[in-house]
Amino acid sequence: MAKLTINKELCKGCGLCTTACPKQILAVSKTVSNSKGYFVVEELDPSKCIACAFCATMCPDCVIKVEK
Amino acid sequence: MAVVFEKPSFLTDTPLHYCPGCTHGIAHRLVAEALDEIGAKGHCVGVAPVGCAVFAYNYFNCDMQEASHGRAPAVATGIKLTNEDNIVFAYQGDGDLASIGMAEIVHAATRGVNITVIFINNAIYGMTGGQMAPTTLIGQKATTCPSGRDAKVNGNPIRMCELLATLDGPSYIARCSLADVKNVKEAKKCILKAFQNQKEGKGFSFVELLSSCPTNWHMNPQQALEYVKNEMTAKYPLGVFKEV
């Protein structure tokens, strides 16, 4: 069981995590934005996460915490 | 649940001011992780550059000093000499290190001062709005070479690792890329090695990180990393250039 915690307030929606994810379960939202106006990244299917932390490795803003 | 990945304690909670997709954030994190791993907490001093990373002193959980443009290795030398037990690092961009700071970096390297220099090469002046840097690739567009850099008019790009590797002083010189997960993990190893060298008193260590600047390259973050992977890596080959 893997768990991602995304600090959406710090996310800038760059999408580097979405291309790094081998399971393709991350996407930049088209509707949800934070107080700075950035559309933030969302986890589409948490059950598919394998806790590889590739998303967190590529995140420039350290917004993703990965637990397993 | 066991934590697989979280923000290193060497980074403060201050939100980074960098543009979306800028790899400065990844570089900051790798430096912070390396400092955490060598146990530098409490006896570490960093030197921030002039450039996009000018606010680095807000982001690292250690004492920081802001240097004049390009002078970070000289300031770091002074800090190191006052207390050699401190882990001292300079964090510089290409406009800072390879242009106005060329004299300082070359002389710090040839003296073999026991400091670590992290060099962010994104081939452009980011903070001032995308002017041509010493590392801008031939054909790459910038505001001061709008039709692309021409070697006859603008000169050729400088390869800092190769240049410094000709000197006798440095103990470790490496170039890594931040273009994908594999390369980021490799960069982490090189940065850790550079700090361990300093801890062991081996002397001057230098790590160049090929980075992206989506804003001034006028690309999206993914395209910018592809550019690093395909174009920049071709001109700036990755690897360890010196290890003593």
Helix axes B181-199, B24-37, angle to 10 degrees: 40
Chain A residues near residue B58 by CB distance under 8 angstroms:
none
CB < 8 Å to A53, chain B: 4-5
Task: Calculate the alpha carbon distances from B193 to A21, B33, B35, B103, B158 in Å.
Answer: 28, 12, 11, 25, 24
Class of domain A3-67: alpha beta
Q: Which chain B residues contact residue A61 at CB under 8 A?
A: 15-16, 18, 25
Global confidence as pTM: 0.96
| Interchain proximity A67–B2, CB inside 8 Å | yes
A 12-31 → B contacts, CB under 8 A = 12-16, 19-20
Q: Write down the pLDDT at residue B62.
A: 95
Domain ranges of chain B: 24-243
pLDDT of residue B1: 86
Q: Tell me the average confidence (pLDDT) per consecutive run of 10 residues in chain B, 244 residues long.
A: 94 96 97 96 95 96 96 97 96 95 96 97 95 96 96 96 97 97 97 97 97 97 97 96 94
Which pLDDT does position B241 carry in this prediction?
A: 97
Pairing of strands B131-132, B116-121: unpaired
Query: What contacts B102, CB < 8 A, 6 or more positions away?
Result: B70, B134
Beta carbon pairs, A and B, within 8 Å: 73
- Residue appearing with tokens 């030197």: B47
- Across A10-21, average pLDDT: 96
User: B153 in contact with A at a CB cutoff of 8 Å?
Assistant: no
Q: Give me the CATH code for the B24-243 domain, please.
A: 3.40.50.970
In the three-class reduction of DSSP (H, G, I as helix; E, B as strand; rest coil), residue B204 is classed as coil
Note the pLDDT tens digit of each residue in A18-65: 999 999 999 999 999 999 999 999 999 999 999 999 999 999 999 999
Which residue in chain A is spatially nearest to B16 when comparing CA positions?
A61
3-class SS of residue B193: helix
Which helix (H) or strand (E) is B185 found in, with range? helix B181-199
pLDDT at A1: 83
